[in-house]
Chain A
C-alpha cells in the first residue's frame, strides 16, 4: 500500500518536472545558438545597428527595426483593445444584467479562441482593403491593419481579466459609493477602477505580452520589410514574422542566418518574460490587498 502510494507520487512528480525541463530546454536552446551567434556578431551591433538584413548579401544584424515593427503593431493593438476591453469590462460588471453577462462573456472569449491564422486572413483580405478605401496611401502590407485585428483578438484578454478584477472588489466599497448617491459611472471610475487597478494593469500587461508574441497575423499582413519606423502605414517586419520567414526559407542548419532566429527568439523571450513577471507581480500585490 505504502509503496504503491510512493510510486504514484513519484510518477506525478515526474509529470510536474517536465514543465521545468521545458523551461530549461527553451533557455538552453536559445542561449546555446544565440551565444554562437554573438561570437560572430557583436552584441553592440545587435542592439544598435539600424538595419536588419541577415538574408541579404550586405548583412546587418541590428534588432532595432524588428523591435520597432513589433512595437508598432503592439501599440496599435493596445490602442484598439484597451478602451474597448475596459469599457466592456465595466459595462458587463456594473451595467449589464447577469443573464446577459453569462451569455456575452463566453461569446467574447470565442474571439480569443479563433486560430490566429484566421485573423491573419481577416487582416489581409478584409481589413487592409477596407482601410485602403479610407486612407488611399496605405500600403498593402502595413502595421495598422494587423495591429487593429490583433487588438480585436486581445479584447477578451483585457475584458475578461479586468472584469474578474472589478468583480473581486469587495461589494462593501461599491455599496458605500452607491449609498452616497453616486451613479454607476461615477462608482465605476472613481471607486472600482482605482480599487481594481492592479488587476486591470496586470491584464493589460498580459495582453501586451500576447501581442508581442503574436506571430501569424503579422506574418501574413504586416509584410517582411524590417525597417526602423513609427509609421504604421508602411510594410514592416516583427521579430515573430522574421522567425517565420527564416523557417519557411531554405536556410542551411548551422549557418549564421539560421542562428539569427535564435537571437531574435531570445530577444522575444526576454521581453515576454519580463512583461509576464511584471504582470504577476502587480497582480499578486493586488491580491494581497484584499485578503
Chain B
C-alpha cells in the first residue's frame, strides 16, 4: 500500500517555471506542471494560447524554430531534457509525437512502421517484422492492413493513416506520447477509434494530448490543463475541470462563453 502511494506520487514529467519566446514575443509565461505516469493529460485552450508550443517543448521539437528561446527546465524521469549531455534524437525516441494531420511517409506501410528502427541502424528482418506487427496491433490497425504491408501508406484512409502514425511512434517504444490534435482531421468514427486507442495505450504510456474538442478532452483524459495567453490557468482532474472549474476563465472557455 505504501509502495503504491509512493509510486503514484512519482512524476513522469515535471515542468519548472517555463517561459518561452518567439523572438521577443512571450508565448509561454511561467508554467509549472507535473504529469503522472500512465495517465492521459489533455491540454485545452484557445488557438495561440501556447499549448502546442508547450507540448513541443517536451520533445524539443521547437529547437529548430528560428528565434525560439526558453527558460526553465523540463524533467523527464527526473532528468533535465535540456541538459547539455542530452541527445535530442535519443530524447525523441523516448518521447514520441503524433501530429494533427496524419503524415505518413510516402512509402509502404511496413517502411513507415519500421522507420524509427531503421534510423537506429536495426536491419534484422525478423526484428523489423516483429516490431511492425506488435506496433500495428497496438495501434489497432493490424487486422486491417496485415495482408498488404507493402502497399503505400498514402492509400490508407485518413483514420488508418493516423493510426499508422501512432503505430510508427509506438514502434520505437517510447514512454511518453505527445499528440497534437490527433483527431482534428478525422471523421467521428475514426476519431472514436483513436480515442479508444488512447484509452488502451494509457496502460503502458504517458500520453499528453492537445485538443480543441472539449468533449474529446473530457472523454479521454484523466487530467486537464487549461492554457490561456501563455499561462496555465487551471490544471486538475478532468472531472473537476468539467464539472466544477475553479477559475472563471476556465468555466467560460469550456462552457463556450468565451470572451
Contact = CB atoms under 8 A, between A and B. Distances in A.
A1 interface: yes
A1 B119 CA distance: 11
Contacts of A253: none
A164 B207 CA distance: 46
Interface in B86-134: 87, 89
Contacts of A6: none
A2 B85 CA distance: 12
Interface string B49-88: 0000000000000000000000000000000000000010
A146 B209 CA distance: 67
A2 B87 CA distance: 9
A166 B87 CA distance: 48
Contacts of B87: 1-2
A2 B86 CA distance: 12
Nearest to A5: B89
A2 B88 CA distance: 10
A3 to B, nearest CB: 12
A2 to B, nearest CB: 7
B41 to A, nearest CB: 31
Interface in A1-54: 1-2
A2 B89 CA distance: 10
Contacts of B89: 1
B89 to A, nearest CB: 7
A12 to B, nearest CB: 16
Contacts of A1: 87, 89
A33 B87 CA distance: 53
A1 B89 CA distance: 10
A280 to B, nearest CB: 22
A4 to B, nearest CB: 12
B88 to A, nearest CB: 10
A237 to B, nearest CB: 50
Contacts of A2: 87
A1 B88 CA distance: 11
A2 B90 CA distance: 12
Interface in B204-246: none
A1 B120 CA distance: 11
A2 B84 CA distance: 13
A273 B39 CA distance: 62
Nearest to A2: B87
Interface in A108-160: none
Nearest to B90: A1
A149 to B, nearest CB: 44
A1 B87 CA distance: 10
A256 B115 CA distance: 64
Interface in A271-287: none
A63 B89 CA distance: 61
A186 B88 CA distance: 58
A45 to B, nearest CB: 51
A117 to B, nearest CB: 41
A242 B144 CA distance: 72
A187 B54 CA distance: 48
Interface string A86-121: 000000000000000000000000000000000000
B90 to A, nearest CB: 9
B119 to A, nearest CB: 11
A150 B87 CA distance: 58
Nearest to B88: A2
Nearest to B89: A1
B253 to A, nearest CB: 31
Interface in A190-247: none
B109 to A, nearest CB: 28
B210 to A, nearest CB: 27
B3 to A, nearest CB: 39
B120 to A, nearest CB: 11
A156 to B, nearest CB: 32
A203 to B, nearest CB: 30
A1 to B, nearest CB: 7
A272 B89 CA distance: 47
B77 to A, nearest CB: 22
B70 to A, nearest CB: 22
A205 B89 CA distance: 47
B79 to A, nearest CB: 19
B195 to A, nearest CB: 37
A5 to B, nearest CB: 9
A157 B128 CA distance: 51
A269 B89 CA distance: 47
3 contacts: A1-B87, A1-B89, A2-B87
Interface of A: 1-2
Interface of B: 87, 89
Which are the 3 A-B pairs with shortest beta-carbon distances?
A1-B89, A2-B87, A1-B87
